[in-house]
């Protein structure tokens, strides 16, 4: 499982969330969990942040995050009011920069934990559903980037809730056509620079957890709480959470 | 322009061709040529070699070849009777290992210099012509890998001459449909572990050069002569050269 | 703790030990152990092997071993009668190729797990004890490479047992001069191409384990058994094990 | 020869100087010059910038600058009133991040083009002149980083002009002791966050060029003019140029 976080609020230096918390993303990159054998999140990492420039900035690299001196320096010097960070645990695709999250397209940013069950059996079908324009934007080989491009195709720019539902539906359909029993699992975070949409969905109703911490001047969304306080709410499964300014609305996912 | 070489003959250590010649591939990676401004071949490199194992070995990296200590050591220690080496000059695709030549599929190996004119305009069409099986083998984003997979689709394993002709024809057709005037340019080298097929083709009849040096116990094919002797023959343009054992046959390319 | 193995015997392909065993080095690179929080061995890796060439080959890279396609291909195609492999867990030095084990100097090869307690306090003193010739051979920043160069200085080429004892003594002395209480811990493997010297030493008599598996045609030495058979003997602590051909002699380490 | 630039003035995005000029640093990284055979500046690159944080930020990588997507994004999003950029052409040291310029120590930043003639003959002597504290700060293997640390040792923080003179003198002395005839060549740029010191010096009075472009609100210093305007002044050889605010003072170097 990959690990990620997203932030919106007063402008802060990125290391305030990535390095400093008790249970920071960097700490998570090197930890094992309670299961006996677990791959760590050492298959690359990425940052994406909104700034005063028209389009968001990003930094992707293939080294484990824990040892990257550049990441330490950049996170210490880049400040942002809205950013995402992701440490990757590959579910099969190559370890390369183009496969690192968050994916950025124009003003949109997207990150993902989980995977499409039996991806190799539906990849051909799903990629072919992309328009030519979106097909050409695909630079990597992950299911994650493909989910992002499918959402754009399905109208993410116009009606995000519908586009997310439609995309998960199309993936489930393609999987059903191939009688795939391994589930589609997703925790997703999407932003257009102004809003967040957070998705927690799995075919088997066991999606990866996502936690939310809110206060008057900031919102933090993360795959695991960044500290051991009780200020973290778990986002309900099978929902889309829409966060704009400090306002938060939850929608049930209706896939079938 | 990328640079490359291919060898067949008595088993030799790879550095004998990659490092030692007067005008070695490593030397070519750092040289300018007579034109005033020229990008160098510093966008990664690759080796592929046949050995006693069933499938060929490979080594791809994204650093410039000239400074890579691993390459120096591997080329000094790996010996082979048939191998290829390539130093990349990207024509736009990302610098990543999956975009480095030679591409390997089962017992087949493929490298390329040149590019598909207006590639972004025909990429969608051409990728969609791949079968699902071959589509799933595509791990990078280059026109080169796509040409290789199209040749497989067109029967490279069964009738290589026909498959090569058909592939170049399909690419030219797709380019014509989009009224692309920039030419398709290729120097290609392909092997199945027993034979070579070398292609020199360009829409505008100005393909990149390929040179051949043959003696009783070896054949060297290269994008530039590796020394300043007069033992290098230039392969005629618009041809496929088929080399098996020490026997060499040339076929005119008939695209239209 | 880093993980490593060394092999001598009939020539085998490297992947036979690095990838294939039940508890292979690659498996170890991604596993957690029973402790709750453990850094994995993802700070680079290296191979060194003796071949028909005068000097050994090597391959070092900074990616985690588990995801490196080059390593998979090289280990599948390179065969050797004597080789070492190491997956690194940095104790502070940079993640860079020059800090990856095994270190190679002429016909000598060296790898290490453990570290010099309070290294930063004795580094200056110890580096200054190197001769100019050996000082210039130092390309990285690790304590491990320094231990290797000190052993060369202390006569590793002439009297290895004495050189190993003397080096550990000099390090302990330097640590004592600075009142360092953190122990010197080492599991070491050294070869000249004909013999192995394996060291298990720690100031606090708790050195990292080393295991030995021997049969008539091969010797495997490893930081952890590669399978769950009972054929692995634990090497006694505070000893040097000298292995030549299939003959094995153990010497007590006498540091004080 | 490496290439570099330094800037002070109104805060600008880094790409304004690194990518946008007609003859930008990125353009220089891929160009040949008039000489027939020239290595390009593809052995890594680096950025260093002063920001609102106490210590400067940096970003070093080993890929050629021309193909690095991270560099493009970071240079587009990071703004600074004082920064340096360097594209490396190695004169022998490894291609690794720790060997990339600018070197940063506390609030000091340093970059260099040129090299110490016969460096391997004087390296031992010069490194041993470092204090323990500075010796421990040395993470790479270049002559450049060593020159920087020697200047710190010689009082760069207190009397920069004297420290620069003394350092060049000590290097020349060490070279003379070894009868080295190859010259010491340097173009250097140093900053403490408030001032620049630019050095153009060579034993043979043929130092690499350095150019200066000044206006009321900015100063650009570069190894080559960034455009073809006539606004670039060549800095005289064998001088130290001290630039504070918009005031510029030149000192003759007195080495002997």
Give the sign of the dihedral formed by CA C143, CA C144, CA C149, CA C150. positive
Q: What is the predicted pLDDT for the residue at C159? A: 97
Q: Which residues of A touch D13 (CB under 8 A)?
A: 53
Cross-strand pairs, D61: D45
Average pLDDT over residues D197-205: 97
What does the alpha-carbon distance between residue D148 and residue D144 come to, in Å, rounded to a whole number?
6
What is the distance between the terminal CA atoms of chain D, rounded to a whole angstrom?
A: 26
pLDDT exceeds 80 at position D33: no
What does the alpha-carbon distance between residue C197 and residue D177 come to, in Å, rounded to a whole number?
41
Q: What is the predicted pLDDT for the residue at B44? A: 86
Q: What is the predicted pLDDT for the residue at D163? A: 97
What does the alpha-carbon distance between residue B71 and residue B226 come to, in Å, rounded to a whole number?
18
Of C30, C43, C63, the CB nearest to A62: C63
Chain B interface includes C76 (CB < 8 A): yes
Residues C124-145 have pLDDT tens digits of 999 999 999 999 999 999 999 9
Joined together, the tokens standing for residue A41 give 């999140």
Inter-chain contact C135–D120, Cβ cutoff 8 Å?
A: no
- Give the three-class secondary structure for B220: strand
Most distant pair of Cα atoms in chain B: their distance: 49
pLDDT exceeds 60 at position A143: yes
What does the alpha-carbon distance between residue C47 and residue C45 come to, in Å, rounded to a whole number?
7
Q: Which residues of C touch B78 (CB under 8 A)?
A: 77-78
Specify the range with the lowest mean pLDDT, choosing from A244-253, C45-54, D153-162, D203-212. A244-253
pLDDT exceeds 80 at position B34: no
pLDDT tier at D106, thresholds 50, 70, 90: very high
What does the alpha-carbon distance between residue C37 and residue D134 come to, in Å, rounded to a whole number?
34
Q: What is the predicted pLDDT for the residue at C35? A: 41
Average pLDDT over residues D109-116: 96
pLDDT tier at C31, thresholds 50, 70, 90: low
Closest CA relative to residue B184, chosen from B114, B108, B109: B114
**pLDDT mean across residues, chain D:** 92
- Secondary structure E strands in chain D: 3-13, 45-50, 57-61, 79-87, 103-105, 108-115, 185-191, 195-202, 211-215, 218-222, 233-234, 239-244, 247-252
Inter-chain contact A42–C37, Cβ cutoff 8 Å?
A: no
Joined together, the tokens standing for residue A179 give 């009688």
pLDDT exceeds 80 at position A36: no
Residues B95-151 have pLDDT tens digits of 888 899 999 999 999 999 999 999 999 999 999 999 999 999 999 999 999 999 999
Instruction: Between C207 and A254, name the one with better pLDDT.
Output: C207
Joined together, the tokens standing for residue B23 give 């005008």
Q: What is the predicted pLDDT for the residue at C175? A: 98
What does the alpha-carbon distance between residue C242 and residue B161 come to, in Å, rounded to a whole number?
60
**pLDDT mean across residues, chain C:** 92
Q: What is the predicted pLDDT for the residue at A173? A: 97
Chain C interface includes A33 (CB < 8 A): yes
Could you tell me which chain A residue has the CA closest to the CA of C94?
Answer: A67
Instruction: Between B245 and B226, name the one with better pLDDT.
Output: B226
Domain limits, chain A: 3-252
Q: Which residues of D touch B90 (CB under 8 A)?
A: 67
Could you tell me which chain C residue has the CA closest to the CA of D140?
Answer: C140
Chain A interface includes C130 (CB < 8 A): no
pLDDT exceeds 70 at position B40: no
Instruction: Provide, for chain C, the percentages of residues in helix, strand and coil under a 3-state DSSP scheme, each rounded to the nearest 5.
Output: 25, 30, 40
Q: What is the predicted pLDDT for the residue at B32? A: 47
- Give the three-class secondary structure for C207: coil
Average pLDDT over residues A175-201: 97
pLDDT tier at D128, thresholds 50, 70, 90: very high
Q: What is the predicted pLDDT for the residue at A40? A: 61
Helical ranges in chain B per DSSP H: 15-18, 25-30, 69-77, 119-128, 132-137, 143-153, 160-177
Q: What is the predicted pLDDT for the residue at C101? A: 95
Read off the DSSP letter of residue B146: H
Instruction: Between B158 and D28, name the one with better pLDDT.
Output: B158
Inter-chain contact A70–D13, Cβ cutoff 8 Å?
A: no
pLDDT tier at D193, thresholds 50, 70, 90: very high
What does the alpha-carbon distance between residue D5 and residue C183 come to, in Å, rounded to a whole number?
47
Inter-chain contact A141–B136, Cβ cutoff 8 Å?
A: no
**Residue B14: CA count within 13 A, CB half-sphere:** 29
Chain B interface includes A132 (CB < 8 A): yes
Shortest Cα–Cα distance, C139 to chain D (Å): 7
Cross-strand pairs, C3: C87
Q: What is the predicted pLDDT for the residue at C34? A: 40
What does the alpha-carbon distance between residue C218 and residue C211 come to, in Å, rounded to a whole number?
14
Of A59, A76, A97, the CB nearest to D74: A59
Question: What DSSP line would sit under A7-73, residue for residue?
Answer: EEEEEEETHHHHTSSTT-HHHHHH---SSSS---S-S-EEEEEE-SSSS-EEEEESS-GGG-HHHHH
Could you tell me which chain C residue has the CA closest to the CA of B104?
Answer: C73
Q: What is the predicted pLDDT for the residue at C149? A: 98
Q: Are B59 and C74 in contact (CB under 8 A)?
A: yes
What does the alpha-carbon distance between residue C38 and residue C26 come to, in Å, rounded to a whole number?
16
Q: Using CB atoms, which chains have 3+ pairs under 8 A with B?
A: A, C, D
**pLDDT mean across residues, chain B:** 92
Of A31, A62, A67, the CB nearest to C37: A31
Residues C106-129 have pLDDT tens digits of 999 999 999 999 999 999 999 999
Read off the DSSP letter of residue A117: T
Residues B183-219 have pLDDT tens digits of 999 999 999 999 999 999 999 999 999 999 999 889 9
Average pLDDT over residues A167-176: 97
For B59-86, letters b (16+ CB in 10 Å) and e give: bbbbbbbbbbbbbbbbbbbbbbebbbbb
Q: What percent of chain C has pLDDT over 70?
A: 95
Closest CA relative to residue C116, chosen from C163, C173, C157, C66: C173
Mutation for D interface: A70, A80, A97, most D CBs within 10 A = A70
CA dihedral of B98, B104, B106, B107, whole degrees rounded to 10: -170
pLDDT exceeds 70 at position B10: yes
Chain D interface includes C129 (CB < 8 A): no
pLDDT exceeds 80 at position D81: yes
Closest CA relative to residue D40, chosen from B40, B92, B37: B40
Read off the DSSP letter of residue B235: P
**Residue D71: CA count within 13 A, CB half-sphere:** 24
Q: What is the predicted pLDDT for the residue at C104? A: 97
Give the sign of the dihedral formed by CA B127, CA B129, CA B130, CA B132. positive
What does the alpha-carbon distance between residue A234 and residue C159 come to, in Å, rounded to a whole number?
64
CA distances to B65, D10, D206 from D121, rounded to whole Å, are 28, 44, 22
Instruction: Between D88 and A179, name the one with better pLDDT.
Output: A179
Q: What is the predicted pLDDT for the residue at D255? A: 75
Specify the range with the lowest mean pLDDT, choosing from A120-134, A171-185, B20-34, D45-59. B20-34
What does the alpha-carbon distance between residue B17 and residue D204 come to, in Å, rounded to a whole number?
39
Q: What is the predicted pLDDT for the residue at D31? A: 64
- Residue range D3-252 forms a domain whose CATH class is alpha beta
Give, in degrees to the nearest 5, the angle at Cα C210 between C209 and C213. 140
Q: Using CB atoms, which chains have 3+ pairs under 8 A with D?
A: A, B, C
Q: What percent of chain A has pLDDT over 70?
A: 95
pLDDT tier at C39, thresholds 50, 70, 90: very low
Could you tell me which chain B residue has the CA closest to the CA of C50?
Answer: B77
Cross-strand pairs, D83: D7, D49
Q: Using CB atoms, which chains have 3+ pairs under 8 A with C?
A: A, B, D
Chain C interface includes A228 (CB < 8 A): no
Give the sign of the dihedral formed by CA B46, CA B49, CA B53, CA B55. positive
pLDDT tier at D256, thresholds 50, 70, 90: low
Instruction: Between B22 and D111, name the one with better pLDDT.
Output: D111
Helical ranges in chain C per DSSP H: 15-18, 25-30, 69-77, 119-128, 132-137, 143-153, 160-177
pLDDT exceeds 80 at position A34: no
Element spanning A119, H or E:
helix A119-128
Give, in degrees to the nearest 5, the angle at Cα D11 between D10 and D16. 105
Cross-strand pairs, A58: A48
CA A220 to chain centre: 13
Could you tell me which chain B residue has the CA closest to the CA of C47?
Answer: B70
């Amino acid at each position: 499982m990959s690990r990620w976080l997203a932030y919106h609020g007063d402008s802060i230096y990125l290391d305030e969330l990535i390095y400093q918390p008790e249970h920071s993303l960097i700490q998570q990159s090197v930890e094992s969990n309670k299961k006996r054998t677990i791959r760590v999140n050492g298959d690359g990492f990425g940052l994406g942040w909104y700034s005063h420039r028209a389009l968001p900035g990003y930094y992707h690299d293939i080294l484990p995050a824990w040892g990257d001196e550049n990441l330490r320096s950049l996170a210490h010097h880049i400040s942002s009011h809205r950013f995402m960070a992701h440490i990757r645990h590959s579910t099969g695709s190559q370890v390369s920069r183009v496969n690192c999250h968050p994916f950025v397209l124009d003003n949109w940013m997207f990150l993902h934990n989980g995977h499409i069950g039996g991806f190799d059996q539906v990849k051909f079908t799903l990629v072919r559903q992309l328009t030519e324009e979106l097909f050409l934007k695909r630079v990597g080989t992950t299911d994650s980037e493909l989910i992002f491009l499918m959402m754009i195709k399905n109208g993410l720019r116009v009606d995000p809730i519908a586009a997310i539902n439609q995309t998960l539906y199309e993936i489930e359909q393609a999987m059903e056509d191939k009688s795939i029993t391994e589930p589609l699992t997703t925790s997703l975070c999407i932003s257009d620079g102004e809003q967040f949409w957070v998705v927690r969905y799995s075919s088997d109703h066991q999606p990866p957890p996502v936690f939310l911490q809110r206060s008057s001047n900031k919102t933090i969304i993360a795959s695991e709480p960044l500290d051991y306080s009780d200020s973290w709410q778990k986002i309900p499964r099978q929902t889309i959470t829409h966060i704009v300014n400090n306002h938060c609305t939850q929608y049930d996912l209706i896939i079938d």
